[in-house]
Amino acid sequence: MNDRFDLVVRNAVAVTAGDVQRCDIGVRGGRIVALAERLGPGEREIDAAGRTVTPGGVDGHCHLDQPMPAPMRMADDFLTGTRSAACGGTTTVIPFAAQKKGESLREAVEDYHRRAEGKACIDYAFHLIVSDPSERVLRDELPQLIRDGCTSFKVYMTYDDLKLSDRQILDVLEVARREGAMAMVHAENSDCIAWLTEKLVASGHTAPRHHADSRPAPVEREATHRAITFSELLDVPILIVHVSGADALEQIRWAQGRSLNIYAETCPQYLLLTAEHLGLEGFQGAKYVCSPPPRDKANQQRIWDGLAKGAFHVFSSDHAPFRYEDAHGKKLGGKEVAFQYIPNGIPGIETRLPLLFSEGVGEGRIDLHQFVALTATNPARMYGLYPRKGTIAVGSDADLVIWDDQREQTIGNAMLHHAVDYTPYEGMRLRGWPAVTLSRGEAVWEDGEFRGRAGRGEFLKCGLPDPARPRTRAAGA
Ligand code: URP
Ligand code: ZN
Ligand code: ZN
């Protein structure tokens, strides 16, 4: 028997959520088959030279080629989006197959498979977005799709084309509980936003910075509390996505203090941007329009505290790629539109890991194990991909990042690999950047170049996530 490895990563300092190990990493058939000192030869060998090696990132919240109401169009498809992810150390993405109101959820998933196939450069799974929980969706489509490996879905409390009523959310959460799926909630109070928007527009306040005025912290806080209430009523775990500041976090901590299964996600924009960015001169603030909006420095600090103290479980990009100089993007229809028409979301799939590595670990706010847990292990657990993804262990996929820990890097859009014409982090100086990204043992980012190939990414059927289990089971359930 030929027991040569396909690949050996030598002299790694392999860091997982719980351990650190000085070892060689042996890879065969795309999986890790040995972790030990002085492994035998490999067809290919990479000397990590004592550098940090982490599991490839799992981006549990990003939007790629998601169909949007015209004329909005996302800039990144599965090729450019996964290319960009790989160059930033991410080896698994979980974007959203979004149901349109009045349409079938299953057809949305079939359409999304067609968009991904032949294009994805790294592995991918799908979350669902349920925007129309008809009887057919609740009874047939959603349970069947969960059994087919789409075991997580998002519900929206705002956005006219996506939002559900409270009653509809309860219906959908009931399915999550019964089937064992993870429900993600976008928590903002829709009526408050509509009311505030009307007042702002009526008084001529239409510039991008008023986006933040239309969605102040109480709007997010109230919806977060309401979502927690639904979770408690049904005894079903939920994950609150893109938490922006202290108010919503307070509700989450309150719920966690009552032993409710409330999980939470935050994103780089809530650590590193503020509402002041929305007020940049001219129309530049449109580049920072996302929901919930970035808050202020004090809120950033509370989010950092939440990351360090374990209130947050996942750190995602919420990459929502709209170009700035584009009639399908921020300048919708070719105009500097009023804030309520600016497509929501900002790019960040490639910068997610380097930002947290440098600003979090490098600045001593979190340790490397927390970094790994937040960016890889926990999202893999939350969405039913663990231990295939999200860790460095025998049997796991050889999805690895070798870090150039000391590399000084100033972020510039020209060095990124997405199809967006800006980055919100332009000019930020970081220490540390992925030197090599391996996806199932193949280098997809090395020597400063993308080395992947369209179509090599595989669709991942997710298992039922352990964290989605209810605390108790109702009698007869
Ligand atoms: O503004 C944002 N976050 N856009 C992306 C869609 C979403 O709600 O996550
Ligand atoms: Zn959202
Ligand atoms: Zn999102």
User: What string of DSSP letters covers 406-457?
Assistant: EEEEE--GGG--SS-S--TTTT-EEEEEEEEEEETTEEEEETTEE---TT--
Atom nearest to 344 CA in ligand 1: 1
**What is the reported pTM?**
0.98
Residues 118/130, Cβ–Cβ less than 8 Å: no
Q: Tell the residue number behind the tokens 């584009």, with chain if given.
A: 326
Q: Is the CB of 188 under 6 A from ligand 1?
A: no
Residues 177/470, Cβ–Cβ less than 8 Å: yes
Residues 355/371, Cβ–Cβ less than 8 Å: no
Residues 140/109, Cβ–Cβ less than 8 Å: no
DSSP-assigned letters across all residues of 130-162? -S---HHIIIIIHHHHHHTT--EEEEESS-TTT
Which of 291, 330, 342, 346 to mutate to test ligand 1, by most ligand atoms within 8 A of the CB atom?
A: 291
Ligand located closest to 344 CA: 1
Ligand located closest to 185 CA: 2
Ligand located closest to 316 CA: 3
Per-residue pLDDT for 473 more than 90? no
Query: What is the per-residue pLDDT across 252-285, written as a single tens digit (0 to 9) for each?
Result: 999 999 999 999 999 999 999 999 999 999 999 9
Per-residue pLDDT for 250 more than 70? yes
Query: What is the per-residue pLDDT across 399-447, written as a single tens digit (0 to 9) for each?
Result: 999 999 999 999 999 999 999 999 999 999 999 999 999 999 999 999 9
Mean pLDDT over 180-184 rounds to 98
Residue nearest atom 5 in ligand 1 by C-alpha distance? 345
Specify the CATH superfamily of domain 57-375.
Answer: Metal-dependent hydrolases (3.20.20.140)
CA–centroid distance, residue 318 to ligand 3 (Å): 5
Per-residue pLDDT for 476 more than 70? no
Q: How far apart are CA 311 and CA 370, in angstroms?
A: 12
Task: Assign residue 179 a region (left: φ > 0; alpha: ψ between -120 and 50; beta: otherwise).
Answer: alpha
Mean pLDDT over 44-50 rounds to 98
Domain boundaries, the chain: 57-375
Residue 344's alpha-carbon distances to 46, 208, 285, 333, 433, in angstroms, are 41, 11, 12, 15, 28
